[in-house]
Amino acid sequence: MIRFNAKLLASASALVAVALISGGTAAAADKIVFRSADTHVDGYPTVEAVKYMSEELSKASNGRLSIKVFPASQLGEEKDTIEQTQLGVLDFNRVNLVPLNNIIPLTQIPSLPFLFKSTEQAQRVLDGPIGQEILDSFAEKNLIGLAFYDSGARSFYNMKHPIKTPEDMKGMKIRVQQSDLMVGMIKALGANPTPMPFGEVYGALQTGAIDGAENNWPSYYSTRHFEVAKYYSLSQHLMVPEVLMMSKKSWDKLSKDDQKLVRDAAKKSVQKMHELWAAQEKIAHEAVVKGGSQINEVDKQPFMDAMKPVYDQYVTDKKMKDMVERIRAAK
Ligand code: GTR
C-alpha cells in the first residue's frame, strides 16, 4: 500500500501533482494506491478487469482509493504472491483458485475435475451462496475473498499426439498448477504430474522437460504454448474460476465505508470480466487454429470414470461432501 502522508507531500511536488491530476478532490493525505499482482500479461482479461475495478473505486472515492496492477508475474509467481498477500506485503491479488488449494480447503471444491455441468452452471453456483461460503473461508488464512472471475474450461494440450482416451496420456509428463489435488488428478489418469509455476511452462515444453500441460483458450494463446504444443484435446476437465482477493491486513486498515467501496467496485468488475472473457475466448480460439493447433473432441466419460479416487482422496470431511452434493444438485 502506498500511503501519501502530508509530510511527504510537502516535500515531494511530484506527488502533489498526482493529487491534482486526479481531480484534486481527495485530500492528498488520505490517498491510497493499493498494489495488485497478476501472473498474466498486460491486456489479459483478468488484468484489465482489475484496472477497471480501480477506475470504479477511484470514482466512488473521489480519487482517494485506487489500485495499481503489476502484470506478468512482476511481483512473483502465484504461490509467492499469495504468501505476500497473506503477509500484507501485497494489498490485492488476482490468482486462479487452484494455487490456493493447499492453503484453503474449500477452494478444492470448484477445482474438482468434472464437477460442474457447464461454465454457466459454474457461474451460477459461484455467484450464489456456495460461492460466498468459499470466499468467506479465505478470512481464516488472512485473505479476503472479493469476487470470482471467469476462466472458462481447461483442456489438455501436448506436443506428442491428440489425447482421446486416458490411455493416450500414459507416461506423459503433464505440467499442473501447484496443488496436491492436481497432482492426484494427473496420476489418476496414468500420466506423470509435474507441478510448476506458470512462467516456467513455455521453457519446460521447449526443452522437453514436460510433454504437455492444460489450460483454457486464452492462456494457451497468451503464453504462446500453442506454438510448441500443438495438440489441444477438448477434455474440459476443469472449470476452476479465477479469484480476486485482498490482504486481510490491508482490509483491516480500511474504514467500514471504504471496505464497502472496495466490495462494490470488485462486484462491478465481475460484469466487466464477463464481457472481456467472452471476447478473449473467441479471439484466442481463432488465433490458435490459425496458428496451426490441432484440436480434437474427447469422449469425456472414461476421463470422468477415472476421477473416483481423486474425489475419495480429496473430498474428505462432511462439509466438503455436502458442498459437492449441493453443486451436483444445482441448476
Ligand atoms: C490460468 C490462470 C492463471 C494461472 C495459470 C496456470 O488459466 O488464469 O492465474 O493459474 O492458469 O496454469 O498457472
pLDDT tens string 208-240: 999 999 999 999 999 999 999 999 999 999 999
pLDDT tier at 23 (50, 70, 90 boundaries)? very low
Q: What is the pTM of this model?
A: 0.92
Report how far ligand 1's centroid is from the alpha carbon of 98 (Å). 8
User: Does 246 lie in the same domain as 235?
Assistant: no
Of 249, 267, 282, at which residue does a domain stop?
282
CATH number for the domain that contains residue 322: 3.40.190.170
pLDDT tier at 30 (50, 70, 90 boundaries)? confident
C-alpha cell at 26: 481527495
DSSP state of 229: -
User: Does 206 lie in the same domain as 289?
Assistant: yes
User: Does 273 lie in the same domain as 174?
Assistant: no
pLDDT tens track for 179-198: 999 999 999 999 999 999 99
pLDDT tier at 2 (50, 70, 90 boundaries)? low
Report how far ligand 1's centroid is from the alpha carbon of 198 (Å). 6
Of ligand 1's listed atoms, the one at least distance from the Cα of 177 is 13
Closest CA to ligand 1's atom 2: 96
- Enumerate residues 6+ apart whose C-beta is below 8 A from 224: 202
Cα-based distances in Å from 70 to 18, 98, 162, 247, 276: 19, 20, 36, 16, 19
In a domain, 167, yes or no: yes
Distance (Å, whole) CA 229 – CA 211: 8
User: Does 139 lie in the same domain as 55?
Assistant: yes
Q: Which phi and psi angles does 167 have, rounded to 5°?
A: -60, -35
Distance (Å, whole) CA 74 – CA 115: 33
Report how far ligand 1's centroid is from the alpha carbon of 242 (Å). 8
Q: What is the pLDDT of residue 35?
A: 98
Q: Which residue has the cell 476421463?
A: 303
Task: Indicate the SS3 state at residue 238.
Answer: strand
User: Does 245 lie in the same domain as 235?
Assistant: no
Report how far ligand 1's centroid is from the alpha carbon of 21 (Å). 35
Whether 220 is in the pocket of ligand 1, judged by its Cβ within 6 Å, is no
User: Does 139 lie in the same domain as 181?
Assistant: no
**In what helix (H) or strand (E) does residue 144 lie, and over which residues does it extend?**
strand 143-149
Of ligand 1's listed atoms, the one at least distance from the Cα of 95 is 9
User: Does 179 lie in the same domain as 272?
Assistant: no
User: Does 308 lie in the same domain as 182?
Assistant: yes
Domain boundaries, position 311: 154-239+285-329
